[in-house]
Structure 1
């Protein structure tokens, strides 16, 4: 989805005629929603992976989340936050090309504010590298206030609220140009409102409740939080689509009028996906440290060392650029074989052959 979206976004920005812009605007729209539906399950897959890691060997989990690779997870949090910001930015800007979207545009600023708050909490580290003087001045390795937002209770709450906010933005975009006419429209809107408010309250309650539980029990609260988010996704979407029956259109979507900001968000999404995939691949491999197979076959070669954060970042950036240079070359070679449209044939009917 990210590759197709970036390809279509480039052609959209460089298109010369309205028909071509409309076509690639539609391609961007399809690619973006492929990305969104791929993005939403990512944090859940991460929970599952870390659950298996901790179940296999707790020391591996500590190395990942609280040891030498902890700051790589802070970088991962920043990249995931960029993905959510890019997806929501595209949806917000896409509403401008839909008649009737003015009814919901007023809510966008509040959703952006929620994303900023959750993103700040999501990327807050539990502890930071400090000098002895800073450590003494603060009274310990953990900040008395900010440190509370660095534990998983706060981070799970933040990322689930970000996903829920993205789902709400998607539902508003779905109904932007539709006038709901079903007899139970008021009841349906109340149900959707109650689902999202109830989900937000439940996610926040479970996050706060986690601070009163020991660590080995607190990790289990991620399951009801994820279940709440998924229930909101499926129930809200189902009710929203059901309300579209016999709905009246408030106008066609004006393809080809997407703002440049929304198009740039697709580039951000594609690059962030690539960099994040490289980062998590490196983390998954590097957690073995100096083992070929953890605690089974040791790596005794002189190259068995873990990269510093700076070296890892440089290598990941190089790999991302290398991958996208290959994509650009492939697209460029494909464009060389594209042929111009043939001239329109004459409308004259040829004379019949002589008998």
Structure 2
């Protein structure tokens, strides 16, 4: 009965979402130029019978964005923004897990099929158990978020319904489809485990990931439209088609950043699950299974985390290109301290990831040849971390400013601007990758004849990369007008 309840709740919720959006779509919120062609022709035949109705339809289609005042928002006694933020953040956490886990489950399942090793299949199946549990919670928070937005921000949601139109219904139907695919994929695992049925199961996994990725990019378009609207005129009236509304300047950067971040986050969460199960295991066999599961999870998380800052750089570059004021507000204005907190968290994640890699290496005999490198990597990481979190300015009193001789410290001031921070974070990424590489090589021995030449080439690549990062950061950051 427990599994039946898990199966039914997201299905019923998705049906409810379709019904609600269908009701909203049938009302005045739905612009006729996004209805299907056959329906639009009927509407045109019935409603645009006179010149007056045609003029009113044109006026509706070019309705400007609402400009509500404070009195137009419902007063619920607490901050509406805080309510929506908390619910949206929880929905995002669980949604990232639900979208990410099937991605690497599909890869692991393919590995099991190609190698014939049943351990891969068992591990992939257990990964999906985590995703299936999170899916019901994701649906619950998603429905709560939609309700909160319509109740607390009715003008905004009416405008978004006008701008995106039928895309909202498509999203609801895709959510319903993902619910069906997810449960068939998980509960049909054993029934489709062998023979040609396995390929049917793998195809279902591929389709599930395709639907999930589509849901993600559609939801991203709503967020980026609010940040950097496209397909509208200077007063916010919708003048473009649905593709022009969706494909704003920040859409693809957000898509890439969220896709990579979901994988890193999902890998870390299932790694934590595997660590708990390993500690709670009562047999050596179970302990070995969950230890391997944790190893695989952390491998996925670290591998996905390494390119994530570059996706973040692209996103912020596009934000500055769209609106320099928006970028300054985010990184140097009212939200600047959030970036300091984020910097601390990123540095902490990198150092924790390195520590995990070093601890994992210590279990193998071959790691002894790399032990001498660890202390130097640690020193570089700590120095770069300190530079990374150094603020450019502080809130100072007049006496403190006089004691410093200005608002910036003469030594620490230059470390608080982006050239120094770019150098620091890129060096942290390079040395994290170095830890990852020696972690992967610690239990292996090179047998090729060109071993020395290959190692020399790898050392040269690292040296050239480090010199290039430092030179480019110092020269273009401090000595050129950029």
The one of 143, 148, 170 equivalent to 2:414 is 148
Give the count of matched residue pairs.
Answer: 215
Following TM superposition, where does structure 1 have runs of at least 4 consecutive aligned residues deviating by more than 6 angstroms? none
Alignment partner of 1:184 is 2:450? yes
Alignment partner of 1:9 is 2:275? yes
The Cα of 1:37 is off from its aligned counterpart by 1.7
Q: Which residue of 2 aligns with 1:211?
A: 478
The Cα of 1:132 is off from its aligned counterpart by 1.3
Alignment partner of 1:138 is 2:404? yes
The one-character-per-residue Cα deviations of 1:137-184 (angstroms, maximum 9, x if unpaired) are 111111110011111100110111011001111111121122212111
Structure 2: distance between partners of 1:193 and 1:120: 26
Structure 2: distance between partners of 1:139 and 1:197: 39
Structure 1: distance between partners of 2:433 and 2:329: 33
Structure 2: distance between partners of 1:63 and 1:193: 41
Q: Which residue of 2 aligns with 1:21?
A: 287
Alignment partner of 1:56 is 2:322? yes
Q: Which residue of 1 aligns with 2:441?
A: 175
Q: Which residue of 2 aligns with 1:346?
A: none
The 5-angstrom pairing of residues 312-331 of structure 1 reads none
Q: Which residue of 2 aligns with 1:319?
A: none
The one-character-per-residue Cα deviations of 1:221-248 (angstroms, maximum 9, x if unpaired) are xxxxxxxxxxxxxxxxxxxxxxxxxxxx
Q: Which residue of 2 aligns with 1:107?
A: 373
Structure 1: distance between partners of 2:419 and 2:383: 15
Q: Which has the higher helix share?
A: 2
The 5-angstrom pairing of residues 25-44 of structure 1 reads 25-44=291-310
The Cα of 1:16 is off from its aligned counterpart by 2.1
Alignment partner of 1:123 is 2:355? no
Alignment partner of 1:162 is 2:422? no
Q: Provide the aligned C-alpha RMSD in A.
A: 1.0
The Cα of 1:9 is off from its aligned counterpart by 0.7
The one-character-per-residue Cα deviations of 1:67-120 (angstroms, maximum 9, x if unpaired) are 111111010000000110111111000011222111101111111111000100
Q: Which residue of 2 aligns with 1:220?
A: none
Unaligned segments of structure 1, at least 5 residues: 218-355
Structure 2: distance between partners of 1:142 and 1:42: 31
The one of 468, 472, 475 equivalent to 1:202 is 468
The 5-angstrom pairing of residues 65-76 of structure 1 reads 65-76=331-342
Structure 2: distance between partners of 1:27 and 1:169: 20
The one-character-per-residue Cα deviations of 1:12-49 (angstroms, maximum 9, x if unpaired) are 12222221111111111111011112211221111111
Structure 1: distance between partners of 2:287 and 2:389: 37
Structure 2: distance between partners of 1:108 and 1:28: 22
The one-character-per-residue Cα deviations of 1:42-71 (angstroms, maximum 9, x if unpaired) are 211111111111111111111111111111
The one of 331, 351, 358 equivalent to 1:85 is 351
Structure 1: distance between partners of 2:430 and 2:374: 14
Unaligned segments of structure 2, at least 5 residues: 1-266
Higher Rg of the two aligned structures = 2
